[in-house]
Chains A and B, each alone.
Chain A
Amino acid sequence: MKPSHSGTLAETALLIAAVALPLLLQAFGEDYYIGFATRLLIFALAATGLNFIVGYGGMVAFGHAAFFGIGAYAVALLMNAGIFSAWITWPVAVAAAALAALLIGAASLRTRGVYFIMITLAFAQMIYYSVVSLEFAGGDDGLPLEQRSTLVPLDLADDATLYWVTLGLLAASLMALKRLAASRYGRALTGLRQNETRMEALGYPVQQIKLVCFVVGSAVAGLAGALLANQNGMASPSQLYWTQSGMLLVMVILGGVGQRFGGMLGAIALLGLEEVLGRITEHSHFYVGLALLAVVLYAPRGLAGLWGRQK
């Protein structure tokens, strides 16, 4: 991908359109879709974090739901303890996800390939079952939020404000990850993905580089989880279940592994398709599945890859 002038221009135009979206929706009286658009952006954020791990780090992590869920539960538990401020709870959510990723990653990175897929899955399932059997975490019912987090001076109770805050965090995360990928560290990560043995021979601390990537991507998921708890009004165990990890991975592959906007594209395409089909049929997942099969067979590099080929 070449960072052309027209590329940044298109990105700016897209950002302006995204900022204006809630105003347009309000003007047309379609306020429901503000919440839906927020959901899209939240999943785009979580998938972007996963894409950093899978696409840039070359690690097929099958436990992303764990960090997504930890972010949500951190916000809900702190709110139950009487702490409402997002200035405190959201950073805690990110830190909690990062800490969990540090521990899980340090253990998991001893393995590779298919074993890495399985061990991340195992750790995520442990977290799911632990949370479900803990009474103070709400068990099977999840933890409802008394209200949305407070983010002085903004009013998150307003749907459009939550949308803008989410959009801002997504844009900031994309920017930060882009910078990280272009940095010295990012170059090392790319080299490692292409030839790990050579990087090791060159004296790079291979395990640490991978671990940092895993932690960063998971921390982004923690932030997305904090946002989703606010959007849904609760932290739910289904957010921690392995099918959620599968869904996030599907978004990344659908959008384009290792493409900067791959996670975002995939999340928007998948949830958008689900929503549109859901209006027509009760069995939207049936057709979503067929569409995904078509992508596997005919667009092996995902939607972003499709775009790149046409240019």
Chain B
Amino acid sequence: MTQLILEQALNGLQFGLMLFLLAAGLTLVFGIMDMVNLSHGSLYMGGAYFGAAAAQASDSFLVGVVVAMLGMAAVGAILEMLLLRRLYLRDHLAQVLATFALILIANDAVRMIWGPQPLPLNPPAILAGPVELFGFIYPAYRLLIIGVGLAVAIFLYLLINHTRAGMWVRAGASNREMAETLGVNVRQLFTIIFALGAALAAAAGVLLGPLLAVQVGMGENILILAFVVIVIGGIGSVRGALLGSLLVGIVDTLGRALLPTLLRATASPEVAAHLGPALASIMIYLLMAGMLFWRPQGLFPART
């Protein structure tokens, strides 16, 4: 039992860190420009496809990751300059329409290029096996993901809290007009943020590729989880996104693993079999609705 809980907790940590890669960019876009971007999941999907194609062509997973991140950073920057920039001052409805259109375009574009079948993406050969960790067995690849996720979190922390550019980002998130008046080039800053966010989403796409499937529609599922994360964490706050991601990752993973067992201990097996999976899959949404109900500004409100 302890073994199971520990393993699931690590899985939750790993999933949470990947959610963080997605949520970090989304929360900044949302927070600074007050922009509802539904197409963030498409950047994640694009990254997975770029990565899978590059890894296949070069026979190297690392090349796949690098190509995915650089490629999607470029796509993100172009997208921001050509389209999204024109939407910041429009209402949420226009943003929903435009970014939903982007989902439709991205899904069909991927089908045009790579076909409707999922792409295979294997983890690097050295990490394919399990390793022994404090007396129990855990897949090496998942450990790598945890390591990368933690490294990115630390990198972002340093970037945002200890650099000039990071200061501009924080200023923009708490009060955009004020930051602009004080001479921050928000326009340029935002292109950079968007490209960075796209690169991080792409990284999540490639890294999760071997665990989940690289297929059309993969972005739609995870996008909503990323929204859950940033609402819980506080829109615009990267720190909140990190905490929210870990919370969602661990609650979701542990809930799925343990709730059916727990219910079986307290209710009849039949009720547990029905209620367990249903309850487990809606737990994080309950968490989010509860947060919106009692503390709508989230754990770490960024806006003043």
Q: Is the CB of B86 within 8 A of A295?
A: no
Q: Is the CB of B278 within 8 A of A243?
A: no
Report chain A residues within 8 Å CB of B34. 114
Report chain B residues within 8 Å CB of A107. 289, 293
> Are A114 and B285 CB-contacts (below 8 A) given A250-B96, A283-B111?
no
Q: Is the CB of B96 within 8 A of A114?
A: no
Q: What are 13 A-B pairs with beta-carbon distances under 8 A?
A: A110-B293, A115-B231, A117-B92, A118-B227, A118-B288, A122-B288, A122-B292, A123-B285, A133-B277, A249-B97, A250-B100, A293-B98, A293-B102
> Is A187 part of the contact surface with B, judged by Cβ < 8 Å?
no
Stretch at the interface among A163-171, A175-183, A284-292: A284-292
Q: Is the CB of B98 within 8 A of A296?
A: yes
Q: Is the CB of B231 within 8 A of A118?
A: yes
Report chain B residues within 8 Å CB of A125. 224, 282, 285
Which of the listed residues B36, B83, B94, B296 has the most CB atoms from chain A within 10 Å of its own CB?
A: B296
Which of the listed residues B100, B104, B286, B296 has the most CB atoms from chain A within 10 Å of its own CB?
A: B104
Q: Is the CB of A253 within 8 A of B94?
A: yes
Additional A-B contact list (4), CB under 8 Å, known A113-B92, A283-B111: A133-B278, A243-B103, A290-B105, A300-B90
> Is B112 part of the contact surface with A, judged by Cβ < 8 Å?
yes
Report chain B residues within 8 Å CB of A133. 274, 277-278, 281
**Closest B residue, CB atoms, query A251:** B97
Q: A-B pairs with the 3 shortest C-beta distances?
A: A289-B105, A286-B108, A292-B101
> Is B38 part of the contact surface with A, judged by Cβ < 8 Å?
yes
State the CA gap A282–B103 with chains docked (Å). 16
Contact with B along A103-133 (1 / 0, CB 8 A): 0000100110111011101110110011011
**Closest A residue, CB atoms, query B227:** A118
State the CA gap A54–B96 with chains docked (Å). 13
Q: Is the CB of A249 within 8 A of B282?
A: no
How large, as a class, is the contact surface on chain A?
A: 35 or more
> Is B7 part of the contact surface with A, judged by Cβ < 8 Å?
no
> Interface of chain A, helix or strand or loop or mixed?
helix
Report chain A residues within 8 Å CB of B98. 292-293, 296
> Is B107 part of the contact surface with A, judged by Cβ < 8 Å?
yes
Q: Is the CB of B285 within 8 A of A292?
A: no
> Are A134 and B278 CB-contacts (below 8 A) given A110-B293, A122-B289?
yes
Report chain B residues within 8 Å CB of A283. 108, 111-112
> Interface of chain B, helix or strand or loop or mixed?
helix
State the CA gap A282–B289 with chains docked (Å). 39
> Is A60 part of the contact surface with B, judged by Cβ < 8 Å?
yes
Q: How far is the CB of A292 from chain B (nearest CB, A)?
A: 4
Q: Is the CB of A285 within 8 A of B281?
A: no
> Is A162 part of the contact surface with B, judged by Cβ < 8 Å?
no
Q: Is the CB of B112 within 8 A of A296?
A: no
Between A and B, how many residue pairs show CB distances below 8 Å? Answer: 131
Report chain A residues within 8 Å CB of B288. 118-119, 122
Report chain B residues within 8 Å CB of A113. 92
Report chain A residues within 8 Å CB of B278. 129-130, 133-134
Which residues of A approach B to under 8 Å, CB–CB? 54, 60, 62, 107, 110-111, 113-115, 117-119, 121-123, 125-126, 129-130, 132-135, 242-243, 246-247, 249-250, 253-254, 257, 282-286, 288-290, 292-293, 295-297, 300
State the CA gap A111–B100 with chains docked (Å). 23
> Is B1 part of the contact surface with A, judged by Cβ < 8 Å?
no
Q: How far is the CB of B262 from chain A (nearest CB, A)?
A: 16
> Is B67 part of the contact surface with A, judged by Cβ < 8 Å?
no
Contact with A along B73-97 (1 / 0, CB 8 A): 0000000000100110010111011
Report chain A residues within 8 Å CB of B282. 125-126, 129-130
Report chain A residues within 8 Å CB of B103. 243, 246, 289
Q: Which of B102, B220, B289 contacts A123 (CB 8 A)?
A: B289
State the CA gap A249–B36 with chains docked (Å). 14
Q: Is the CB of A246 within 8 A of B274?
A: no
Report chain B residues within 8 Å CB of A110. 293, 296
**Closest B residue, CB atoms, query A254:** B97
State the CA gap A113–B296 with chains docked (Å). 11
> Is B235 part of the contact surface with A, judged by Cβ < 8 Å?
yes
**Closest A residue, CB atoms, query B276:** A133
Q: Is the CB of B107 within 8 A of A118?
A: no
Q: How far is the CB of A112 from chain B (nearest CB, A)?
A: 9
Report chain A residues within 8 Å CB of B286. 126
State the CA gap A90–B107 with chains docked (Å). 35
State the CA gap A300–B92 with chains docked (Å). 12
Report chain B residues within 8 Å CB of A249. 93, 96-97, 100
**Closest A residue, CB atoms, query B112:** A283
